[in-house]
Amino acid sequence: MSENGSAQTEAAVAQSNGAASADSPLVDMINIHKYFGSVQALRGLDFRVNRQEIVGLLGDNGAGKSTLIKVLTGFHTPTRGQIFFDGDEVEIDSPTRARELGIETVYQDLALVPLMSIARNFWLGQEPTYQIGPLKFLDQKLMEESTIDALADVGIHIRTADETVGTMSGGERQSIAIGRAVYFGKRLLILDEPTSALSVGETQKVLDYTFAAKDKGMSVIFITHNISQVHEVADRFTIIEHGRKLGDFTKDEVSQQEVANMIVSGVVPERLRLFDEDGKKENA
Ligand SMILES: Nc1ncnc2c1ncn2[C@@H]1O[C@H](COP(=O)(O)OP(=O)(O)OP(=O)(O)O)[C@@H](O)[C@H]1O
Ligand SMILES: [Mg+2]
């Protein structure tokens, strides 16, 4: 896996050398606040994702992980703060805008539409149509064939795309949702707790899709409570606590155990602490 990783990094560097904003991160969220009435879900959080990087976003229940990615995907408007994407400041005021930027998300709490077929779910919001005279029709045949092919592209094999999603298992649905996001995503894939309902085999597939997205040149934000999974896939970890960032750590500087301890205790090990102009940071 690591050989693969370094080859990809070189490819990313080569690719980005030509781009105008190559030095900037893909995503740079600065001083993000999000209040829901008196609940301060995010309190001045900075969050960065580099190009072709898999970031594990970690923190205890209620830390603000889902809220942070919902701000990035246009689901919530931040109370305060700036978002830069690809070097430019952006206002992501709707999920459609996020998708236009190349961001695809599999949400923790928004599944597929159970009563619709796999194909309809796959193409939801961007259905191909054909026109006869003044009338527009959904191109069912194209949707079904292309869904089978597109899912096969990312390693998911289904016999038919006209089956209703409601009859599928949790793991199968999650596979379709992720396959869809990997297929349509151009720049950034966000997975919020993608494996919480999955078996061991299904989980391994999700980890494979995560690498597939990186191979495609995408960056990935991977949210999970399972430290060993995220340690396997992520290049870097961002740990948040009560709406603030506890720290950023690259995989080679922290062990799985240290990451787990930081999430529970909120304390950064002495050797990893950063200093700022005023002396020690809050967590030091
Ligand atoms: N729509 C909302 N309205 C009011 N409060 C909210 C809303 N969404 C989130 N919160 C609150 O914001 C805080 C952060 O929630 P969030 O869902 O972002 O946490 P999380 O880190 O994703 O947790 P989990 O690991 O349990 O998914 C919590 O206190 C939560 O109750
Ligand atoms: Mg959450």
* pLDDT interval class at 109 (50, 70, 90): low
Q: Give residue 85's pLDDT.
A: 97
Write out the H or E segment, with its range, that includes residue 86.
none
Q: What is the mean pLDDT of the chain?
A: 84
Q: Which of 70 and 196 is assigned the larger pLDDT?
A: 70
Distance CA 104, CA 106 (A): 7
Residue 224 lies in a domain: yes
The residue whose CA is least distant from atom 7 of ligand 1 is: 36
**Stretch 240-247: mean pLDDT:** 94
- Is 32's pLDDT higher than 90? yes
Q: Give residue 100's pLDDT.
A: 92
Q: Give residue 115's pLDDT.
A: 86
The 3-state secondary structure of 90-140 reads ECCCCHHHHHHCCEEEECCCCCCCCCCEHHHHHHCCCCCEEEECCEEEECH
Q: Is any atom of ligand 1 closer than 6 Å to the C-beta of 66?
A: yes
Cβ 17 vs Cβ 178: under 8 Å:
no
Please report which ligand is nearest the Cα atom of 38. 1
Q: Give residue 108's pLDDT.
A: 66
Residue 137 lies in a domain: no
Q: What is the pTM of this model?
A: 0.82
The residue written with tokens 């229940």 in the block is 61
Q: Give residue 111's pLDDT.
A: 63
> For 139-151, how does the pLDDT look when each residue is reduced to its tens digit (9 = 90+)?
999 999 989 988 8
- Is 8's pLDDT higher than 90? no
Distance CA 219, CA 69 (A): 14
Residue 132 lies in a domain: no
Residue 153 lies in a domain: no
Residue 133 lies in a domain: no
Structural domain that includes position 225? 2-112+188-280
CB within 5 A of ion ligand 2: which residues? 65-66, 108
Distance CA 90, CA 267 (A): 33
> For 71-93, how does the pLDDT look when each residue is reduced to its tens digit (9 = 90+)?
999 999 999 999 999 999 999 99
Q: Is any atom of ligand 1 closer than 6 Å to the C-beta of 59?
A: yes
CB atoms within 10 A of CB 149: 11
Residue 96 lies in a domain: yes
What CATH number is associated with residue 6?
A: 3.40.50.300
Which ligand 1 atom lies nearest to the CA of residue 39? 5
Domain total of the chain: 1
- Is 20's pLDDT higher than 80? no
Strand locations in 129-281 (E): 129-132, 135-138, 188-192, 219-223, 236-241, 244-250, 275-276, 279-280
Residue 183 lies in a domain: no
Q: Give residue 71's pLDDT.
A: 97
Greatest C-alpha distance within the chain:
72
- Is 43's pLDDT higher than 80? yes
Q: Give residue 76's pLDDT.
A: 95
Residue 267 lies in a domain: yes
Q: Is any atom of ligand 1 closer than 6 Å to the C-beta of 67?
A: yes
% of residues, the chain, pLDDT over 90:
50
Supply the DSSP symbol for 207.
Answer: H
What's the distance, Cα to Cα, between the start and end of the chain in Å?
34
* pLDDT interval class at 107 (50, 70, 90): confident
